[in-house]
Structure 1
Amino acid sequence: MSYDTWQGLGDECLNCHSDIDKMKSLGYPQFITSREDIEKQTKHKNIHCQDCHLGDARAKDKDKAHKGMLKAFFVSHKGTALTREDINYKKSLLPEGKDYIRMMLPIDDESKADSKHPEVRNVLWHDRDRDSFNFSPEIVKKTCGKSNCHPQELKQFNKTIMGTNFRQRTMQTWLQPYGPHNCGPSFADTPVQKELKKIGFDFKNTEKIQKEINLPFSHEQAKNKQRFCNVCHAGCLDCHYEPNKKEGVHNFVKKPSSMSCAGYGRGTSICHPGAMQSRRGETYIGGDYSIPTGMEPDSHYKKGIHCIDCHHTGREGMGDMVRKAGCQDCHVEIEEAHSKSIHKNLDCATCHVNELRGYQLIVWGPGYVAEQKNPFKKYSLYYGIQSPPILMKDKKGKWMPIKVMPHTLGNFSKDVPPSGTIKYRWDDYSTRDAYYILGTFETGSNNKHLLWLDLQQASHPYGKARKCASCHAKSQEMRSKWEYMDDQGTKEPFVGSYKVIADQKGLIVRDFIHSKIKVAEGYKLEDFASWIFFKDKWVINSEDFHIKTEKRKYDKYLEMSNNIDLQIKRLDKTLKNKDKKTIKRYKELRGIALHNQDEGLKLLPKYSDKDGALK
């Protein structure tokens, strides 16, 4: 018998943790468990504690048994890993309170479930490295990915875009290999790998970034930035571990829920809350999982459809999530009708996404990161709502909704010309995110400022279609209203807004207004609100955003659409006593009619009697 096999046969963990009296006497009744509990919750038969947590399962002494044991840990605002002991937290880590996006954060006041511990920013599971906060393939080789568990899945995951963190690690500097990005470059991460093997810190990018700015940028400052970036990116447990009070603290799931995709209540910067809710301004779950809160959930989520039902696993296996969901998988008739309609060059989100929230402005400037000075503080908490979304043609000529977001980066040392045309970050069309560089400009402080517009593709939340007039006008108009909520830069929050006009001449962001700003001691406006000095710079004049409309044709189809709406309202009222087969057939017909007016006006009369009721 090998040493590893012998070591794995120990069961002292459960001898202790299943002893109710002993656990109570030690002051840890919340950690009482049994083999039956663990197998039921994990859905893994014959699982041992050390299979997931490591440690020494044969040791009878607590300290020896727990040596090298893997546990969830907390991320502090200082960018350090905190243990339960550090914050004196003895409760089981389970959802608490009604602030759902923070429900897993430890509470500070037993009487108030939404009173979260002030030192804790996020919760990370135990497949993460405690220094860099990266997903650790070395840890997982010993746990989830060991030979008798899920080695093939780990091997697959380590080669995917998600597992290798390919997109973030590709961004070397503010300008290379493509233009600036809302998230910034990969400040101190390891280079791109075809298969994830190495994690930690690497300073090749740091040294390149140092040459782009006129402020010092140390390795320690780069590490502080990188740690918080790494919090966002997923590992095995981020998807498949969902502890809750009903199914237990060891609850594992084969199929991740939408809550897992949204970080499962571990803060606003884990998994998709960062990229989806803050950057793109979208939501799927709605409510607390939107910023500002209260956004309407996606219509599919309301019907119990989860992210992974549409964004399923691709050819590369575990972690290869299909980015582009195909509506035709469910809406066959609608897709076919749409493909033959006058709106065939619009993607579905163009009509069905009505507002976008999250960041409305971004300023990169001097401030504090991990409670230490840093030239790259991201002043992003200009939280607000922009509606209706501006529509733009992608490089294949398909209209899509976008989130228009002004960005400035201070203390840039190089002269950068305008990009001339809208640029897409990925030539292979794997994303449709775009940007436009306005160039570098100077003001009273912080040297040159690099200005660009992020033009983020929006795909959620789906709802009722927007009004025809919001598209078919001389120009597209969008208003963004926001509140500055960052705890740096000002003595108190302030509010503001801007307008976006898009037409055949291009796109312009204008009419910036704001309430009084009380600058905090040690800060300048250029640090956190440099856009104030560049209100006339946000112009793209190389693209045509005009949605061409022939008035006669528009009036014709608007009348047809109104006619269809009236017929459908009458038919809807007659569904009450119809059988399931008839109702299903009608819903298919209804979908066709709403997405192809020419077909709709031919079909609806065939299924209506003389009184307008469904046959």
Structure 2
Amino acid sequence: MGRFWLVVCVAGGIVGSAAWGGAEQLGGYVDSCNRCHGDAARMQALGYPHFVVNRAEVARQTGMPAGCPDCHLGNPDAAAKDEAHKGLKRLLVVRKKGLVAEPADRKAPLMVTAGPVQRLKFQVMKDGKPVVDPTVNTVLYHDKLPETLTQDFATMEKTCGRCHSGQVAQFRTTPMGRNAKQSQYVSWSEPARGPHNCGVWSVANYKGIAAATAVPFSQAQSDLNQRTCNNCHVGCLDCHYYPTLPDRKEPRSGMHAFRKTPPPESCYGGGRGQFCHAGPEDRRRGAGYFAGPFSFPEGLAPDIHRTKGVGCLDCHSSNRDDASLPHGMVRRQATCTSCHAEIVKSHAASQHRTLSCEACHIGAAGGYQATFWGPGMLAGSTTPYYKYKDYYGIMSEPILIRDQRGRWIPVKPFPMAVMNQKGGGFTPGLKWRYPLTLADAERTDDAWGFVGLVDGLPENNKALLWVQMDKLSHRYGASRSCASCHGSAGGEQRRQVSWDFGDNGALPFSGSHLVIANREGLAIREMKAKDAIEADKGIAVSSLAPWYFLKDRWFVPGDFSLPAVPYGQGAASAAEELSAARAKGLVHR
């Protein structure tokens, strides 16, 4: 059974029980979907009582006049089930083993919970009761390709495109539709973009990546790694389809519910796990909009805008408010002027005008505090590129660096490495992912620091080392203290970071390191574990903890110090109240 039936299975109950009175003429075809799924007794006898649905219920929830085949295809002219289901677009179940996607015969309804991270859970029948299927990684909607898990534009054009052809065509041109950012990381040593925390984009690049890898790397291993990336690459349904439990007080609720304006939750995976912006914001950058249950460690306070009901599209322009933008285009760069015009004006005249708003108003950064790509097990198969990422902890405050415009921006520097490389032709120092010459839609303000291609490991040598330094953009809150920037001699910034490792490859262990940014450079120092590292059988410690052997090798040369302004000579001292600093024109009013 498939995606059509996903939208009607709610807690084992029947959504609409009246039969539709046999086949109906609809849009030039005989809609045999109604003959079966509108007949409650028949569906009960077949063992699928949770798949009963009527057209009025669907129309009310979707707000659209489309019939079943308009969205799910199939053959509505056929009376026999097998013929009617040919070409039907269905819910895809992604298995943990191999990340293989397949439609599944669902004898149990899809579980819909109130949990924000994973609201939708696939169930199977066990001992006559529905239970969550432990073999399932996630579910994908039917506008994805089961072979690769990425967008299925042919299906989008046949389904959503029947009524919204212009929007589908426009979406294909957007950065999201083109996977524009991710697809530029074509190798670990790509000259323009450098190595990235997310790994490499192996589509059409496998041969080059394999040739640069010092150990065997097969096409099958490459395809598996790529499927882990493709979960995050959106289609129409990821943004606009938002299934919920039916609520009689809310006509647009239910398993056929759509939203013209995507809610903020859809930007965070729509209840199917840590997808889309949940990963880069709350894990990689560590300062996300939602935080709370999405943060690592769990429980960090959300962005103040979230608590005030300000949604993603209220700050990030789309074609909802800018007709010049194509459908699905959302501006990465947002401004504060819509709500805080006077503050922005005052800030521009203050002594801190070269600081971005985020530099002062983003506090603790959670998520990854280290990440290493080394040999391991991925979805039941060996790979030279497993991402050991679960070094979760909290940096008390970001490190501030100057961006390409000279503004101070917040970053969370953390050590990274990819093992078994044949080369890495970069000069040590601070790098920018995208130059200012690119249009805003095609760039970010993310940085990274190249360290070198090093040996010194018992195995997995030729490790390419760098420091990840993505710009933090969310989890706004109260401003940091004046002393946090001006309280150290020489403008040095120091952050002690504690973390817990809980990934595959070893038993859990805890540790810490020190981040130092000063006039000489940016360094990761004193990285150590509090517990013994007990790696799994067949996994080398160097795969998941190369720092254990390489010690203090993570160093990026350059001036990373803050302006050294002594207290009492223009800078707000620790004793001064914020109101006094504002009165002096040091910060915005």
1:272/1:108 Cα in 2 relative to 1: closer, same or farther (>3 Å)? farther
The question of 1:124 aligning with 2:140 is answered yes
- 1:357 corresponds to which residue? 366
CA–CA distance in structure 2, aligned partners of residues 556 and 186 of structure 1: 47
Residue identity opposite 1:411 in structure 2? N
CA–CA distance in structure 2, aligned partners of residues 10 and 419 of structure 1: 67
Counting helix residues as a fraction of each chain, which structure ranks higher? 1
- 1:341 corresponds to which residue? 350
SS in 1 for 2:297: coil
- 1:504 corresponds to which residue? 519
Residue identity opposite 2:143 in structure 1? D
Aligned residue pairs: how many?
543
User: Which 10-residue stretch deviates more, 551-560 or 301-310?
Assistant: 551-560
SS in 1 for 2:99: coil
Identify which of 407, 423, 433 aligns with 2:446.
433
Which whole-Å deviations, capped at 9, do the CAs of 1:167-200 have from their partners, x for residues lacking one?
111221111142111111111x2xxxxxxxxxxx
- 2:280 corresponds to which residue? 275
1:594/1:279 Cα in 2 relative to 1: closer, same or farther (>3 Å)? farther
1:533/1:425 Cα in 2 relative to 1: closer, same or farther (>3 Å)? farther
CA–CA distance in structure 2, aligned partners of residues 253 and 380 of structure 1: 34
Residue identity opposite 2:528 in structure 1? I
- 1:241 corresponds to which residue? 241
Identity %: 35
- 2:166 corresponds to which residue? 152
- Offset, 1:154: 0.8
CA–CA distance in structure 2, aligned partners of residues 452 and 89 of structure 1: 49
- 2:73 corresponds to which residue? 54
User: Which 10-residue stretch deviates more, 428-437 or 327-336?
Assistant: 428-437
- Offset, 1:559: 6.2
- Offset, 1:325: 0.9
1:7/1:563 Cα in 2 relative to 1: closer, same or farther (>3 Å)? closer
The within-5 A match list for 1:377-388 is 377-388=386-397
- Offset, 1:415: 5.7
CA–CA distance in structure 2, aligned partners of residues 387 and 109 of structure 1: 46
The question of 1:22 aligning with 2:42 is answered yes
- 1:182 corresponds to which residue? 197
| TM-score scaled by length of structure 2 | 0.87
1:94/1:379 Cα in 2 relative to 1: closer, same or farther (>3 Å)? same
1:67/1:240 Cα in 2 relative to 1: closer, same or farther (>3 Å)? same
Does the 8 A contact of 1:436 with 1:452 survive in 2?
A: yes
- 1:226 corresponds to which residue? 226
Does the 8 A contact of 2:391 with 2:501 survive in 1?
A: yes
CA–CA distance in structure 2, aligned partners of residues 353 and 109 of structure 1: 46
SS in 2 for 1:166: coil
- Offset, 1:9: 2.4
- 2:461 corresponds to which residue? 447
1:223/1:521 Cα in 2 relative to 1: closer, same or farther (>3 Å)? same
Residue identity opposite 1:181 in structure 2? H
- 1:608 corresponds to which residue? none
The question of 1:259 aligning with 2:265 is answered yes
Which whole-Å deviations, capped at 9, do the CAs of 1:27-74 have from their partners, x for residues lacking one?
2121111111111111103x1000000011122212211121111212
Residue identity opposite 2:39 in structure 1? D
Does the 8 A contact of 1:97 with 1:114 survive in 2?
A: no
Does the 8 A contact of 1:94 with 1:245 survive in 2?
A: no
Does the 8 A contact of 1:212 with 1:414 survive in 2?
A: yes
The question of 1:67 aligning with 2:86 is answered yes
1:222/1:556 Cα in 2 relative to 1: closer, same or farther (>3 Å)? closer
The question of 1:374 aligning with 2:383 is answered yes
- 2:501 corresponds to which residue? 484
1:266/1:114 Cα in 2 relative to 1: closer, same or farther (>3 Å)? farther
1:415/1:278 Cα in 2 relative to 1: closer, same or farther (>3 Å)? closer
CA–CA distance in structure 2, aligned partners of residues 9 and 442 of structure 1: 67
- 2:185 corresponds to which residue? 171
- 2:310 corresponds to which residue? 305
Identify which of 525, 528, 533 aligns with 2:549.
533
Does the 8 A contact of 2:520 with 2:559 survive in 1?
A: yes
SS in 2 for 1:294: coil
- Offset, 1:505: 2.4
CA–CA distance in structure 2, aligned partners of residues 415 and 22 of structure 1: 64
- 1:34 corresponds to which residue? 54
User: Which 10-residue stretch deviates more, 131-140 or 14-23?
Assistant: 14-23
CA–CA distance in structure 2, aligned partners of residues 114 and 512 of structure 1: 47
- 1:317 corresponds to which residue? 326
| TM-score scaled by length of structure 1 | 0.84
CA–CA distance in structure 2, aligned partners of residues 309 and 596 of structure 1: 30
Residue identity opposite 2:92 in structure 1? F
- 2:7 corresponds to which residue? none
CA–CA distance in structure 2, aligned partners of residues 22 and 372 of structure 1: 43
- 1:543 corresponds to which residue? 559
- Offset, 1:370: 2.7
CA–CA distance in structure 2, aligned partners of residues 145 and 594 of structure 1: 57
SS in 2 for 1:508: strand
- 1:82 corresponds to which residue? 102
The answer for unaligned runs of 5 or more in structure 2 is 1-24, 247-252
The within-5 A match list for 1:571-590 is none
Structure possessing the higher relative contact order (Cα contacts under 8 Å, 6 or more residues apart):
2
SS in 1 for 2:467: strand
